[in-house]
Amino acid sequence: MTTASTTPELFRPLTLRGVTARNRIWLAPMCQYSCEARDGIPTDWHLVHLGAHASGGYGLVMTEAAAIVPEGRISPQDAGIWNEAQQQQWQRIATFIRAQGAVPAIQLAHAGRKASTYRPFDDHTGSVPAEHNGWLTVSSTDHAFTGYAAPRRLDTDEVAALPAQFAAAAERAVLAGFDVVELHAAHGYLLHQFLSPLVNDRDDRYGGDFAGRTRLLVETVDAVRAVLPAESLLFVRFSASDWAEGGWDVEQTARISQQLAQRGVDLVDVSSGGAVAEQQITVGPGYQVPFARQVRATGGVPVAAVGMITEPAQAEQILERGDADAIFVARAGLREPSWPLRAGHELGVGHHDLPYPPQYERGAWR
């Protein structure tokens, strides 16, 4: 049996507010582009995909980006949570995730000028035209992301209305049974489009200096936190760097994280990139972990690390060094839905202490 003193950091529970994740191996949000009717309703694919990871031992299982409004979808086949039909299908999925012992989490998103695009596995790239179920996108700017159609610039009143749309989606998420709501402010999507000086060229109260560029996010956090139960968790995903000169950076990420922690954000999910096509990313194992380390050290908020964290010993070392409080596993989790179970075996966790479903317990014995 694994004792408290010998339990790897990856397998120590983490409690935030009233929510406890059984371990610190969490499934990152990853788009599946699999809503068959193009109506944003999650399907059996989503149930099996997310359910397999819950039964595979993850402590927290997060959905893909769920659009808060139809025009916020990355592709016509993306999931949403702007109506009751979507909410009901998410409820089925959240219930199953919880039944497997994992914490159900949902990411709320608006893709802004990077919406209405073809799926990665389609035969076409770029923006989807109206005749193929595409739509005119919106943004902080009227300048296009390279290779995409130009968006319509939102006016000041339209921007001011966005936090209420995020809050309405958060209310639906709670009714669907999710314990965690994450705001997607990364990867060049709408909230990030306001944060980044490379994309936000506004001269109203939502642009200009740091306070102006972060205003929409702050207002959105306030609106969402106000509708969440006291015990529900609120995360924010940031791109800690635009990887381009003059862009959003880790210092600004830490600065706003510190402010948001005072406004009820429970954890910051630290990723990077996506705002502009001319980014120059230095990619390698754990390449985003230094950003997580800096935000954790100076932002005054728990953080999760993500990005090319593929091996159990690597993930364990990140936690042991104090670089992060939890690990989001992304593409390695697509390859291996039971990654946490392998991690436990490799790190010496006793088989009785591994989160095997009872139907799979025989697999715990070598």
Quick one: DSSP state of residue 364?
A: G
Per DSSP, helices labelled H in 57-155 are 84-99
Condensed to tens digits (0 to 9), the pLDDT of residues 264-309 reads: 999 999 999 999 999 999 999 999 999 999 999 999 999 999 999 9
When pLDDT is cut at 50, 70 and 90, the band that residue 36 belongs to is confident
85-92 average pLDDT score = 98
Say yes or no to pLDDT of 5 above 90: no
345-366 average pLDDT score = 91
Q: How far is Cα 220 from Cα 55, in angstroms, rounded to an integer?
A: 33
Q: Rg for the chain (alpha carbons), in Å?
A: 20
Beta bridge partner(s), residue 152 = 138
Poorest-pLDDT segment among 31-45, 259-273, 307-321 = 31-45
Condensed to tens digits (0 to 9), the pLDDT of residues 183-226 reads: 999 999 999 999 999 999 999 999 999 999 999 999 999 999 99
- Please count the residues of the chain: 366
pLDDT of residue 363: 87
Antiparallel, parallel or unpaired: β 267-271 and 233-239: parallel
Identify the structural domains of the chain with CATH numbers, from first to last.
Answer: 9-364 (3.20.20.70)
When pLDDT is cut at 50, 70 and 90, the band that residue 69 belongs to is very high
pLDDT of residue 243: 98
pLDDT of residue 50: 98
Say yes or no to pLDDT of 6 above 90: no
The answer to whether 60 touches 23, Cβ cutoff 8 Å, is: no
pLDDT of residue 366: 61
Matching residue, tokens 């950003």: 291
Condensed to tens digits (0 to 9), the pLDDT of residues 220-266 reads: 999 999 999 999 999 999 999 999 999 999 999 999 999 999 999 99
Active site positions, annotated: 189
pTM above 0.95, yes or no: yes
pLDDT of residue 351: 87
Contacts of 250 (CB under 8 A, 6+ apart): 240, 241, 291, 294, 295
Average pLDDT, the chain: 97
